Amino acid sequence: MVFPTNTSHSDYNVLGGLSRSNDKPFRLQDELDFTRTEWASSGNDVSSIEVPLRISFNPELMELRVNALDESKLPNYRPFALTPDIPSVKELLDQKFVQPVNYQLGCSYAPVEQLLQADLLGRKRSSNRFEVGPLIELPLDGSAVKVDPRRTKK
């Protein structure tokens, strides 16, 4: 996972795959690499969970298969509001890619159910729980899931 700026934030994810405790799969601005523990200490993915997964994709059939190696299930989180951590103008200007703009921003909350209404394949998401990932109801038993987003019927 790479963050292009130090104003990005990550949480409520499933971190899949197999890694060792001293691996550093997280990177901030192409400068710093973090272990999972260091990453969480920086405030990222504090509520996220790790699930050892084996993932395969068949490009000819457009099928995805996911196996949880320890029979884990994907979590469902209570709905929560996302509050954008808007950096100060000084922080933005210090990053040398934003031009000065005179604006006033108020604190705003965006409920998850307003931001994420459907999954990657257009299936409606629940409004009373937050299921992580781009695909809802993803089986973790190795069953094939068609992930072809192209419409085959008119």
The CA distance from 51 to 32, in Å, is 24
The CA distance from 94 to 97, in Å, is 8
Instruction: Report yes or no on 55 lying in a domain.
Output: yes
Quickly count helices (H) and strands (E) in the chain.
Answer: 3, 12
Query: What's the full length of the chain, in residues?
Result: 154
Burial class (CB in 10 A: 0-12, 13-18, 19+), 16: buried
Give residue 58's region: left, alpha or beta (phi > 0; psi -120 to 50): beta
pLDDT per residue as tens, the chain (154 positions): 777 666 677 888 888 866 777 888 888 776 788 888 888 998 888 888 888 888 999 999 999 999 988 777 777 777 665 555 555 556 655 665 555 554 444 445 556 666 678 888 888 888 777 788 788 888 989 999 999 877 655 5
Instruction: Report yes or no on 152 lying in a domain.
Output: no
Instruction: Report yes or no on 153 lying in a domain.
Output: no
Q: Residue 107 has what pLDDT? A: 46
Q: Residue 76 has what pLDDT? A: 76
The CA distance from 133 to 137, in Å, is 9
Instruction: Report yes or no on 128 lying in a domain.
Output: yes
Q: Residue 143 has what pLDDT? A: 94
Instruction: Report yes or no on 87 lying in a domain.
Output: yes
- Partnered with residue 76 across adjacent β-strands are 131
Instruction: Report yes or no on 151 lying in a domain.
Output: no
Instruction: Report yes or no on 108 lying in a domain.
Output: yes
- Partnered with residue 85 across adjacent β-strands are none
SS3 141: strand
**Is the pTM for the entire model greater than 0.75?**
no
Q: Residue 80 has what pLDDT? A: 62
Q: Residue 141 has what pLDDT? A: 92
C-alpha distances in Å from residue 8, one per residue of 28, 55, 134 = 9, 27, 19
SS3 34: strand
- The count of domains in the chain is 1
In which domain, by residue range, is 124 found? 2-146
